[in-house]
Amino acid sequence: MFKLFFRLSGCVFLMLPWLVVGGCNERPETSLTSSVRQEVSPPPVEAPAAELLLSQRAFIEVSDKVTPVVVNISAERVRMVDRISPLFEDFFGDFLPAPPAEQRERSLGSGFILSEDGYILTNEHVVSGAEQIKVRLTDQRVFPGKVVGVDPKTDVAVIKIDAAGPLPVAVLGDSDRLKVGQWALAIGNPFGLDSTLTVGVISATGRTDVGIEDYENFVQTDASINPGNSGGPLLNIYGEVVGVNTAIVASGQGIGFAIPINLARLIADQLISSGQVTRGWLGVSIQPLDAALAESFGMDRVTGALVTRVLPGTPAEKAGIRRGDVLLSFAGKPVRTVKELQLLVASSALGKRVPVEVLREATRLTLIVVLVARDETAQPAIQQPYAEESAPWVGMSFEETGAGVRVAEVEPNSVAANAGIQQGDLVLAINHHVVKTLADLYTARQRARVRDSALLLLQRGDTNLFVALPLKD
């Protein structure tokens, strides 16, 4: 004997092998009109707007032409985990000693084919640490994938499959020509759902302070991107790849980011040719400007990158760049933020003459720099001076050391504290006058009395920074 309960239109039925009992009152039968359109009846909208039909046709064509170049990537990793729950470890750990066990993790991502012989572009985080990679094409063929090279600083990776015969290849566009408001289409495998197409627009370009990667210049889109889309293509209406879908804002909707294809292609070319990435190096320390700093340099807007230090023997020193210069453009492209400058320098060719526009003491200069390869292991020297106290100034006191003049104390809520100066900062210059001794500091302070503000160059740990200090009587 068995029992089965199910609910239907608000009625509960008890079904036994020999009995059916209805638990609701009888209701009159309702006749429903079929919702299936008959050939003789017109659709609700007989003539959709021509623009809608054209857009729909374009989306269908992009999907038909590009979907075959998009692949599904499955990566398997192994990590070590405790054999027993940490909850019971305090009670049973001494009695149940056991070495960590292997646990296999699988992640899904997307990618697209770069060449007929099987090179595929994807995200570094999709394949990072994977011991086994499987690539499934849209025709359901599955191939083992081999990592050719990865670049964690941009989240770009290239993998390779060996297939019999040539593969369909993606057409790469020009991400530098993207405009906000253009159509954007994403194809990928969100949550493992193969060949999913979503549509939106380009929401923004040049996003550099997102905090995801070391080198950022993201394309922002509201085309729906979900887990599993990572590594898939962001397309324009021509079906050209203009970005590599990378990340989403988990707390928001309609905010996704893609690596611009021009940057991804630059990285991919190096990974395919040599398996690693070589970046340009200028040899300066820089900081962003705020409104107070920009005003102190006579600028009417906050833009550019402020040079706080020039390392000896570097391309910057050889080009004539000085501490206190504001870098306005690099290789003919405007520098709006520190992140933009870092990306421009890192992406530039080595050994070529590159024009750099700087603002120096209210004068614009164009200097020529020749970049060299960046040494990722190089670290600037750290200075840590200490000595005896001196007279206070706008809420801070000083002490002289063998390395210079150090801020010994900063009074809370003082002018210095509100400007961001901290105890232990080393004063390198005031209004571009070098400070090495307390006498230098006193002279620079006296000169600054006729001005409304003072521009201080400080060293904090291994970083140099400028601070605009308002002066009050």
Q: At 142, give phi and psi (nearest 5°).
A: -120, 135
Residue 431 in domain: yes
- Of the candidates 339, 373, 407, which is a domain's last residue? 373
- Is the domain of 265 the same as that of 307? no
- Is the domain of 394 the same as that of 337? no
- Is the domain of 203 the same as that of 246? yes
Distance CA 439, CA 462 (A): 25
- Is the domain of 204 the same as that of 339? no
Distance CA 110, CA 444 (A): 59
Residue 44 in domain: no
Residue 46 in domain: no
CATH number, domain of 433, equals: 2.30.42.10
pLDDT at 44: 87
Record the tokens describing residue 112, joined without a space. Answer: 């697209």
Record the tokens describing residue 437, joined without a space. Answer: 């001794």
pLDDT at 366: 95
- Is the domain of 456 the same as that of 368? no
**Nearest CA among 314, 290, 315, 285 for reference residue 428:** 285
- Is the domain of 149 the same as that of 248? yes
In contact, 344 and 387? CB cutoff 8 Å: no
pLDDT at 387: 30
- Is the domain of 233 the same as that of 360? no
CATH number, domain of 146, equals: 2.40.10.120
- Is the domain of 187 the same as that of 271? yes
- Of the candidates 231, 250, 277, which is a domain's last residue? 277
Residue 97 in domain: no
In the block, which residue shows the tokens 């550099």? 208
**Nearest CA among 330, 360, 176, 362 for reference residue 262:** 176
Distance CA 235, CA 244 (A): 9
In contact, 393 and 445? CB cutoff 8 Å: yes
- Is the domain of 340 the same as that of 261? no
Return the amino acid letter for 290.
Answer: D
Residue numbers of the chain with a pLDDT score lower than 70? 1-39, 79-103, 250, 252, 376-391, 446-452, 472-473
pLDDT at 390: 46
Answer whether 0.75 is exceeded by the pTM.
Answer: no
In contact, 394 and 381? CB cutoff 8 Å: no
Q: Are strands 326-330 and 333-334 parallel, antiparallel or unpaired?
A: antiparallel
Any residues with CB less than 8 A from the CB of 54 and at least 6 apart, and which?
Answer: none
Domains of the chain: total: 3
Distance CA 144, CA 431 (A): 62
Q: How many CB atoms lie within 10 A of CB 239?
A: 20
pLDDT at 372: 92
Residue 45 in domain: no
Considering all CA atoms of the chain, what is the largest pairwise distance in Å, rounded to the nearest integer?
107
- Is the domain of 316 the same as that of 396? no
- Is the domain of 322 the same as that of 206? no
- Burial 180-210, CB ≥16 within 10 A → b, else e: eeebbbbbbbbeeebbbbbbbebbebbbbeb
Residue 33 in domain: no
pLDDT at 318: 95
- Is the domain of 293 the same as that of 163? no
pLDDT at 2: 38
- Cite the active site residues: 125, 155, 230
Residue 32 in domain: no
Distance CA 187, CA 198 (A): 7
Q: For 411-434, how does the pLDDT look when each residue is reduced to its tens digit (9 = 90+)?
A: 888 888 888 899 999 998 888 778
Its domain, for residue 424, covers: 388-470
**Nearest CA among 168, 167, 121 for reference residue 147:** 121
Any residues with CB less than 8 A from the CB of 127 and at least 6 apart, and which?
Answer: 73, 75, 109, 133, 145, 147, 150, 157, 159
Return the amino acid letter for 451.
Answer: R
β partners of residue 68: none
